[in-house]
């Protein structure tokens, strides 16, 4: 078992570590450090706090503390117009490696 499991957002984690699904042990030092950083939160850089900051925090932890899974495990299809169309406008969305599916609801509201 891993103390924390997060999925990459973007191919090879190019965007960061997604925050929509996390598997974490109780009283996680990672979550405590992340929460502390939210004292400086700004909507102007939402992605910076919610996706990029966790990547930096995870990189600073000992190897093996954060188990990072491939983006296709949870963030496929992507939040692009093509990805949203795959989820909501095609009769069959292919999810070959999905363990769960992020529905990107705020992208659909627009």
pLDDT of 5-53, one tens digit each? 999 988 888 888 988 888 888 888 888 888 998 888 888 888 888 899 9
Minimal CA–CA distance to 95: which of 70, 66, 60?
Answer: 70
Structure tokens that stand for 99 in this block: 């363990």
Strand partners, 4: 24, 66
Q: What is the mean pLDDT of residues 79-93?
A: 88
The single-letter DSSP state of residue 32 is H
Using alpha carbons only, how large is the chain's radius of gyration in Å? 15
Query: Does residue 4 have a pLDDT over 80?
Result: yes
Average per-residue pLDDT for the chain: 87
Structure tokens that stand for 9 in this block: 């957002």
């Amino acid at each position: 078992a891993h103390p924390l499991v997060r999925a990459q957002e973007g191919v090879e984690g190019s965007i960061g570590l997604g925050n929509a699904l996390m598997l974490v042990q109780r009283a996680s030092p990672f979550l405590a450090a992340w929460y502390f950083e939210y004292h400086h939160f700004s909507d102007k850089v939402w992605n910076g706090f919610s996706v990029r900051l966790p990547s930096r925090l995870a990189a600073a932890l000992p190897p093996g503390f954060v188990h990072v899974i491939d983006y296709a495990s949870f963030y496929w299809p992507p939040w692009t117009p093509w990805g949203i169309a795959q989820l909501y406008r095609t009769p069959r969305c292919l999810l070959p490696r999905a363990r769960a599916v992020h529905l990107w609801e705020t992208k659909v509201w627009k």
